[in-house]
Every structure is written in structure tokens, then in C-alpha cells.
């Protein structure tokens, strides 16, 4: 079944792609063998992250428009907060991006975090690897805005875009230990608002100390995504970043992915309810002595 699906995905069959993602999400028998058969791909992943209300979805929609205008194909994964009742996606970005729903060059999939604290879906690595097997030129992953814990995106995306708004001065200060360090490109969206230029200037000054830790400066760009202003410049910077031959980051990405998958595999059979029951039965309440049995 999976072998046939892979052939269909490589030929651009969207129904097979959607079905395969669901099979991987639900860990259907044979999915691990299927993942081992995926071909190597150089398709670039663009990660879009940032605090709630920054306009990530609007910016993603504008980027889709720019990519399509250049006769390219794009897959978009929108990771939404989970419903507390059924763990399904709560917002449904496909509604917000309804313009592209029937476009044959655009594939959009909403996923739920399913309780993951890093702003991503627990099977996001596998899902993006499946998308890379399809004939897309770009893959965009838009994550939940959950603050500093969202730095998990850096282990997935070739280019990480952090979106903020001019009023986010205090918020950016609190992000400094997390999102500030992971951005390849900073986007100040809604740049038609007052004090946008001053905010950009201050942001560049805040980023200056981290330039020494990067290969070159972190770009700070202004956009008005709702009007698609500045998005063409942003896409050019993304393309430029994608062509940079940064082998160190390439291997870092692979290491991060491998670490996440190994961690996920080893934790697979550990259930929180089971842990609670075992702790209740334990004669001691010393958690560190208790967890020794798992190592």
C-alpha cells in the first residue's frame, strides 16, 4: 500500500498525499518502513513563527501568492492549537486561506499540536519529509504562537522567519532568550502602524550582539501583509538564504531531527496515567529515585 502511495505522491497526486499524511499521523502498520524508503530531497522548508496576533497567517497567504506568481508549487502546513476535547485543529487555516483551496499548485494541511509544547505537531518531521517527496518547490510551516517554547521550529526549517508587530517592544524583550536567537529573518509586519521605523531601529540594535554568533547579519524587513507590501522583498531574501551553502546548519538540522525522533521513539510506551498509578503505588515520593528505573 505505502509503496504505491509513494509513487503516486511523487507524481503529484494530492489525494494520495493527504491520505498518506493521515496514515502517518495514526501510525498505521508499515509506516516506519515507508519512511525509510523516502528519497533524499533538497526542497527547502520555510518556518514562520512569532507571537499571537503578529499576522503569521496573513503573511503566509501573501507568500503563497508570491510563490504562485513565480510559477512555483508550494505546500503549507498550518499547525493550530488543539481542541481540548478531540485534539483536532482548532482554528483551521484552510478557511483563512480559502483563495488557494482549489489551486492545483497549492496544498494546505491544518494540523493540531496535540498537546505538544513546542508549537509543532508530534509528527511534523515525518509529515514534512513526505511533502518533500512530492513535486513542491517550497514547504511553508506556520506554527502556533506560544512564545519562547516555540524555538522547536529551528530544528525543522531551513529558513526561520520570526514575525512581530511594532507594538511588540516589551514582548520582544521577553523573547530574547528564545525566538531572538533562532531567526534567520525578522519580519516587522503591520509596518504602516505608528513608530514602526523606530521599532525596526531598536530591534536591529537588540540583534546586534547576536550577529557574531551567525554567519552574517539577521535581516530585519518591514511588511504590510494584508496589502502584500514588502512580501516580494521578503521572498527574495528567502531565496537568497536558501542558496547559501551552509553545511553546518544542514547537519545541525539533521541532528535536531534525529534527536527529536529518537526521543519520541524512546518515550512512545510511557503513558502519563501509568506513571501516576505507579507513583501512587510507590512507597517513596522521591521522583528522581522513581525515574531511575526507566534508564
Is the whole model's pTM more than 0.85, yes or no?
A: no
Q: Please give the pLDDT value at position 89.
A: 41
Walking along the chain (295 residues) 10 residues at a time, the average pLDDT comes out as: 89 95 91 91 92 89 95 91 43 62 90 57 88 97 64 78 82 60 89 92 79 66 96 96 78 82 82 81 72 73
Q: Please give the pLDDT value at position 291.
A: 75
Q: Please give the pLDDT value at position 149.
A: 44
Question: For the chain, which domains are there?
Answer: 1-37 (no CATH), 41-244 (3.40.50.300)
- The x, y and z cell numbers of residue 273, run together, are 496515567
Q: What is the CA angle 264-265-271, rounded to 5?
A: 75
Report the C-alpha gap between 162 and 290 in whole angstroms.
Answer: 40
Question: Considering only CA atoms, which of 44, 72, 69 is closest in space to residue 140?
Answer: 44
Buried (b) or exposed (e) across 114-128, using 16+ Cβ within 10 A?
Answer: bebebbbbbbbbbbb
185-188 and 138-142 beta bridge pairing: unpaired
Report the C-alpha gap between 210 and 5 in whole angstroms.
Answer: 45
Q: Please give the pLDDT value at position 145.
A: 62
Q: Please give the pLDDT value at position 85.
A: 37
Question: Considering only CA atoms, which of 29, 32, 35, 28 is closest in space to residue 6?
Answer: 35
What is each CA distance from 275 to 95, 114, 267, 289, 292, in whole angstroms?
39, 20, 12, 13, 13
Q: Please give the pLDDT value at position 215.
A: 54
Question: Please, are residues 165 and 55 in contact by the beta-carbon 8 Å criterion?
Answer: yes
Report the C-alpha gap between 281 and 265 in whole angstroms.
Answer: 26
Phi, psi dihedrals of residue 118, rounded to the nearest 5°: -90, 10
Q: Please give the pLDDT value at position 178.
A: 59
What tens digit of pLDDT does each residue of 36-59 get? 999 989 899 999 988 888 899 999
Q: Please give the pLDDT value at position 279.
A: 81
What tens digit of pLDDT does each residue of 101-133 get? 789 999 999 887 554 544 467 788 899 999 999
Amino acid at each position: 500500500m505505502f509503496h504505491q502511495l509513494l509513487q503516486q505522491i511523487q507524481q503529484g497526486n494530492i489525494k494520495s498525499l493527504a491520505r498518506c499524511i493521515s496514515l502517518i499521523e495514526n501510525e498505521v502498520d508499515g509506516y516506519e518502513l515507508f519512511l525509510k524508503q523516502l528519497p533524499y530531497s533538497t526542497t527547502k522548508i520555510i518556518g514562520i513563527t512569532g507571537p499571537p496576533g503578529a499576522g503569521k497567517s496573513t503573511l503566509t497567504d501573501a507568500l503563497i501568492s508570491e510563490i504562485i506568481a513565480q510559477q512555483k508549487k508550494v505546500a503549507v502546513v498550518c499547525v493550530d492549537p488543539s481542541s481540548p476535547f478531540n485534539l483536532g485543529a482548532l482554528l483551521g487555516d484552510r478557511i483563512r486561506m480559502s483563495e488557494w483551496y482549489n489551486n492545483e499548485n497549492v496544498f494546505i494541511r491544518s494540523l493540531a499540536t496535540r498537546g505538544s509544547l513546542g508549537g509543532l505537531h508530534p509528527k511534523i518531521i515525518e509529515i514534512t519529509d513526505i511533502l518533500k517527496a512530492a513535486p513542491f518547490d517550497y514547504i511553508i510551516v506556520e506554527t502556533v504562537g506560544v512564545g519562547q517554547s516555540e524555538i522547536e521550529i529551528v530544528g525543522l526549517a531551513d529558513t526561520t522567519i520570526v514575525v512581530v508587530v511594532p507594538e511588540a517592544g516589551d514582548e520582544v524583550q521577553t523573547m530574547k532568550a528564545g525566538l531572538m536567537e533562532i531567526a534567520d529573518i525578522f519580519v516587522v509586519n503591520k509596518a504602516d502602524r505608528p513608530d514602526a521605523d523606530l521599532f525596526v531601529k531598536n530591534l536591529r540594535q537588540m540583534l546586534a550582539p547576536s550577529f557574531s554568533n551567525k554567519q552574517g547579519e539577521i535581516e530585519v524587513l518591514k511588511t504590510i501583509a494584508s496589502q502584500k507590501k514588502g512580501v516580494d522583498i521578503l521572498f527574495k531574501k528567502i531565496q537568497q538564504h536558501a542558496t547559501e551553502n551552509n553545511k553546518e546548519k544542514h547537519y545541525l538540522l539533521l541532528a535536531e531531527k534525529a534527536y527529536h525522533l529518537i526521543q519520541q521513539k524512546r518515550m512512545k510506551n510511557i503513558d502519563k496515567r501509568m506513571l501516576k498509578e505507579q507513583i501512587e503505588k510507590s512507597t517513596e515520593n522521591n521522583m528522581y529515585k522513581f525515574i531511575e528505573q526507566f534508564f
